[in-house]
Amino acid sequence: MPYPELAERLAAVRAAIDGAIARGGHQQRVAVVAVTKTHGPDAVRAAWAAGLHDVGENRVQEALQKMAEVDVPLRWHLIGHLQRNKVKQLDGFALVHSMDSARLADALHEEGVRRQRPIDVLLQVNVSGETSKGGYGPDDVRAEAERLTTLPGVVVRGVMTMAPFDAEERVLRATFAGAREARTALLEAGHPAAELSMGMSGDYEVGVEEGATMVRLGTLLFGARG
């Protein structure tokens, strides 16, 4: 049985999440997205067996391969940057976390119209302004929230963000609070933007304290990536 420690690790994560919800006071429900990138289909099967029904991948091609190999009704999340020429390959994904530009939003909308089923997306916001990270600038979110109401091919379910790696707590909190504000702007524009996807293995407890409804965990569940 691969990943023998998964159940135990997941139990610890769920307990930590419960503690973070209580400390943060947002009273939200939190979904754990098991990030299986670089791991084989065994990791996906182990996630399913452990009761994790949401799986995250950051490359379309790698995800499609695993979808073909693993025959359980998981929800697949695309969490990595998406090239516009790949929007036609999204049928198997439940949610795209990484709508990171107006041009990509347009392409996703066109595909959603073409396939006659809108694409569920999160708007990725780059709160910290790191040039290595994609996403909308926080100052652009309000105008884009208005514009997105004219694109029926996408359904904006919320916001995703990534905090700077190994940042101190103050920076993490400011980043996550910025994402929460972006979600408020989407809600005020009328989008069904309930979700806040924020927090990875190193910072998910702070993410949950700041209101995350989804955390994306790889290393903590499956061990270091090769």
Stretch near ligand PLP under the rule CB under 6 A, chosen from 13-21, 61-69, 127-135, 218-226? 218-226
Q: How far apart are CA 69 and CA 72, in angstroms?
A: 10
Q: How far is the CB of 193 from ligand PLP (least distance, A)?
A: 19
By beta-carbon proximity to ligand PLP, the closer residue of 92 and 223 is: 223
Q: Binding to ligand PLP by residue 207, rule CB under 6 A?
A: no
Inter-residue contact 153 to 119 (CB < 8 Å): yes
Q: How far is the CB of 192 from ligand PLP (least distance, A)?
A: 22
What b/e sequence results for 135-172 when a residue is b if at least 16 CB atoms lie within 10 Å of its CB, and e otherwise? bbebebbeebbeebeebebbbbbbbbbbbbeebeeebb
Site string for ligand PLP, 147-176 (x = CB under 6 A): ---------------x--------------
Q: How far is the CB of 148 from ligand PLP (least distance, A)?
A: 21
Inter-residue contact 138 to 174 (CB < 8 Å): no
Q: How far is the CB of 189 from ligand PLP (least distance, A)?
A: 25
159 three-class SS: strand
Please state the separation of Cα 94 from the chain's center in Å: 11
Site string for ligand PLP, 20-49 (x = CB under 6 A): ---------------x-x------------
Stretch near ligand PLP under the rule CB under 6 A, chosen from 13-21, 47-55, 83-91, 194-202? 194-202
Alpha helices for 52-129 (secondary structure H): 60-69, 102-114
Inter-residue contact 182 to 176 (CB < 8 Å): no
Q: Binding to ligand PLP by residue 219, rule CB under 6 A?
A: yes
Could you say which residues in the range 74-133 bind ligand PLP, by CB under 6 A? 79-80
Q: Kind and range of the H or E element at 95? A: strand 93-99
Residues near 134 by beta carbon (within 8 Å), at least 6 away in sequence = 81, 98, 100, 101, 124, 126
By beta-carbon proximity to ligand PLP, the closer residue of 46 and 151 is: 46
Q: How far is the CB of 88 from ligand PLP (least distance, A)?
A: 22
Give residues in contact with ligand PLP (CB under 6 A).
35, 37, 58, 79-80, 162, 200-202, 216-220
